[in-house]
Amino acid sequence: MAERAFQVDLRGVVDLLSRHLYSSPRVYLRELLQNAVDAITARGAGGGRVRIETGGGALRVHDDGVGLTEDEVHALLATIGRSSKRDELGFARHDFLGQFGIGLLSGFLVADEIEVVTRSAKGGPAVRWTGLAGGSYRVEPGERAEPGTTVTLRARPGSGELLAPDVVRELAATYGGLLPIDLTVDGAPVTAGGPPWLAAHRDPAARRRALDAYCRDLYGFEPFDVIDLDVPEAGLTGVAFVLPRPVAPSARGAHRVYLKRMLLAEGVEGLLPGWAFFVRCVVDATELKPTASREALYEDELLDATRDALGDRLRQWLVRLAETDPARLRGFLRLHRLGVKAMALHDDDMLRLVDRWLEFETSAGPMTLAEFRRRHPGTARYAASVEEFRRLAAVAGAQGVGVVNGGYVHDTEIIERLPAIDPGIAVRRLDPAELTTAFGVVDPAAELALRPFLAAAQRAVDHLGCEVVVRDFDPASLPALYLTSRAAEHQAEVAEAREAADELFGGLLDALHSAVRADRPQLVLNHRNPLTRRITALAEDGLVELAVQGLYGQALLLGHHPLRPADTAVLNRSFLGLLEWAVHTPEDGR
Ligand SMILES: Nc1ncnc2c1ncn2[C@@H]1O[C@H](COP(=O)(O)OP(=O)(O)OP(=O)(O)O)[C@@H](O)[C@H]1O
């Protein structure tokens, strides 16, 4: 049976490229530029010039590269997928930008006809090749004195804008601005001096000024700092600009990546570890691979290793800043506090940084976790919500029990991770019930004298489900404290669910409820407080009831506890009742 060759529908292939491979027809210029640079590399004479000319609805790219012989023209230009830039085994050769043998086709994104006039540096006459979008080409003798190649695109109706002089200038500068060749558009130079981070400067300050200006130009911000990047195994050099304002840690870090000095894309993702959201990078690499579209980095082991190395570099920068310039580190942390905390969740070095430098709210005022651990060795207690902290911090602090506010984003997780960097510390969520054990008990004689009062007080709040106790504690200015233990909170939730549940499920909850040890919230009256003391000495039962209910309501409000309807009713009742006592006249007969 005779073997047949594949037929290729060129229009279909071009359509595929333009719709599914390239994000924009603008890439046509990058592909032409790339071929010109590769041809110069292949000639190996060093230097090299590429001149781009616009005008008359056409674009001409002249290079003084290696050129093509007539045989090569047939073999390379007319065969889709064939490239001179691979070795015998089909691997991309290291020195070249191209590798797939499809780039030239991108000319058809903007033109119906591509003309190549070329003369090989190996000798032989000049050749003119003309390829048509319809899928045919012709080869004829060309005119050209020197070795090299000129590619001409004539704009297809509707594509003229992409070949207009200012657009071409912009595209050439964007893609080719760092190329190590002499590139001009209509005579105006586009390349100047290569990567700004490799340029020589008088002194470090001058270099920094130049890089700041580069960052302003590129990203529109004044960098907080500039970090040099260098990953030899990827042939990577570059800079990371530290953002001068906060960003959401979830923001995708997009970086400007050049491969062999040719721009890959302005928004490349995946160059840095996910946590490194606080920098924008510009890098050039010789060993990283592009995807076929040349708009993203190819995921391989090298990219993985590079990402880790760059992450290390940023980490080192932070650690060094901590050692050499704490004031600046604080400035950085003020900006990127949230992001650094997010990093600390997964990274011990970052956790150490947070531990040592970030201030947390504690019962003894703002301080770092390191300082807090120094003051309270052994156990670190925290409140899991801002409310819980507000409720308990002052009282806990007065008993010498240190509490950290773990109520803000990431804080509880960070505090719970402290044993990772300090094995000597145990971390516990503060149980309000613990506090009562720190309170002093009233001496036995006074306790005995208080019994009748306590009985009356208990009657006053019994229907509210709480238990009255009298203790001796600081701050003396606090008349009463409402404390719910974790178990009591749990029980209150079960009771609430019971009210909302149907018969069957309700029965289940009842069983559960009675299985839990009765652990009622406590109204702790402070024997050290003068007002409370006077209340305990009241003789009249009616007034005791009103006063205790008043203390109960005030303790609820002060502790930001939620008010149930019964609580609100009691609060109202005691307030009005006490008002009445305050304004009553002897004629009322009391
Ligand atoms: N300006 C040029 N000078 C010399 N040879 C060229 C020139 N442009 C293209 N060629 C030849 O044509 C071949 C095909 O080019 P094409 O741009 O389609 O693919 P490529 O550059 O090899 O790979 P890629 O698809 O990755 O760009 C090249 O391998 C090269 O040999």
248 confidence band (pLDDT: 50, 70, 90): confident
- ipTM, two decimals, is 0.98
Residue 285, pLDDT score = 97
Q: Is the pTM of this model over 0.80?
A: no
- Which pLDDT does position 506 carry in this prediction? 61
With bands split at pLDDT 50, 70 and 90, how would you rate the model's confidence at 579?
very high
Q: pLDDT grade, residue 467 (50/70/90)?
A: very high
- Pocket residue to mutate for ligand 1, from 38, 59, 72, 87, most atoms within 8 A of Cβ: 38
Where does 196-324 sit in CATH, by number?
Answer: 3.30.230.80
- Whether 517 shows a pLDDT value over 50: the answer reads no
CB-based contacts of 413: which residues, under 8 Å, 6+ apart? 345
Instruction: Name the residue with the closest Cα to ligand 1, atom 29.
Output: 83
Q: Does domain 10-189 have CATH number 3.30.565.10?
A: yes
Cα(38) to centroid(ligand 1), Å: 8
For 212, the enclosing helix (H) or strand (E) is: helix 204-219
Report whether the peptide linkage leading into residue 249 is cis, meaning its omega lies within 30 degrees of zero: no
Q: Which of 447, 442, 452 is nearest to 473 (CA)?
A: 442
Q: Name the residue among 231, 235, 237, 229 with its Cα closest to residue 286.
A: 235
Give the residue among 361, 355, 273 at the shortest CA–CA distance from 322. Answer: 355
* pLDDT at residue 375 in the model: 94
Q: What was the pLDDT predicted at 516?
A: 46
The distance from CA 505 to its chain's CA centroid, rounded to whole angstroms, is: 45
The binding-site residues of ligand 1, defined as CB within 6 angstroms of any ligand atom, are 31, 34-36, 39, 63, 65-68, 76-77, 83-85, 98-104, 149, 151
User: For 26-65, how does the pLDDT look when each residue is reduced to its tens digit (9 = 90+)?
Assistant: 999 999 999 999 999 999 887 799 999 999 889 999 999 9
Residue with tokens 């010109």: 36
**Of all residues in the chain, what percent carry a pLDDT higher than 90?**
64
| Mutation to probe ligand 1, out of 66, 83, 114 (largest number of atoms < 8 A from CB) | 83
Confidence of residue 135 (pLDDT cuts 50, 70, 90): confident
Q: Model confidence over 391-424: pLDDT tens digits?
A: 888 889 888 899 999 999 999 999 999 999 999 9
Give 440-485+521-588's CATH code, choosing from 1.20.1730.10, 1.10.760.10, 1.20.120.790, 2.60.40.3680: 1.20.120.790
Domain boundaries, the chain: 10-189, 196-324, 335-430, 440-485+521-588, 487-517
Residues 335-430, CATH architecture: 3-Layer(aba) Sandwich (3.40)
- Other CB atoms within 10 A of residue 132 CB: 14
